Amino acid sequence: MPVLHMRIDNRLIHGQVTVTWVGSVGANRLIVTNDQVATDPVQRMLLPAAARGVPTSVLSVDDTLAYVASEQGQREKIMIIAKLPTDGLRLLLGGLKPVHVNVGNQAPTPATKFKMITHSIAATSEDAKTYREIARLLGTQLTSQMMSSERPADVLSLLQKNGL
């Protein structure tokens, strides 16, 4: 069970992840997963540097699935940061079974019809469908939690409350 936690957060690596989340879930490796980010040489260089000494990989969704299944991946305690809800869904559809999935920050995408379901999570009707499918595949609650010390909120309830 190498994937202890998957966080869906379009900010990727930032202080909340490296200072709070990595320690609270007991991870010894971070994997940032998004096909576009994985092909960007600048992000591939900067994101591991932002991880403050935590071993970090920047991989496509398919490469993340392969790494987690590898002998090396099976020996590590992994926290995955998926940039988008669709990245998280693709990982689950690919067989990933994280212990917990948390939605962090999702900034609004310009020129989309989004609603703010929390002060830091924008969601469109397509995002809502993706989150519902993630929750269905998990078979457990999909939560939103900025800091590990905060009380988690149920994402599906937030979507429903906001008409999504």
Residues annotated catalytic, as ranges: 14
Cα(70)–Cα(31) distance, integer angstroms: 14
Which residues make Cβ contacts (< 8 Å) with residue 163, sequence separation at least 6?
A: 115
Q: Are 108 and 154 in contact (CB under 8 A)?
A: no
How many residues in total does the chain contain?
Answer: 164
Pairing between β-strand 78-82 and β-strand 3-8 as defined by DSSP bridges: parallel
Q: Are 6 and 29 in contact (CB under 8 A)?
A: no
DSSP secondary structure string, 64-103? HHHHHHSHHHHHS-EEEEESSHHHHHHHHHTT---S-EEE
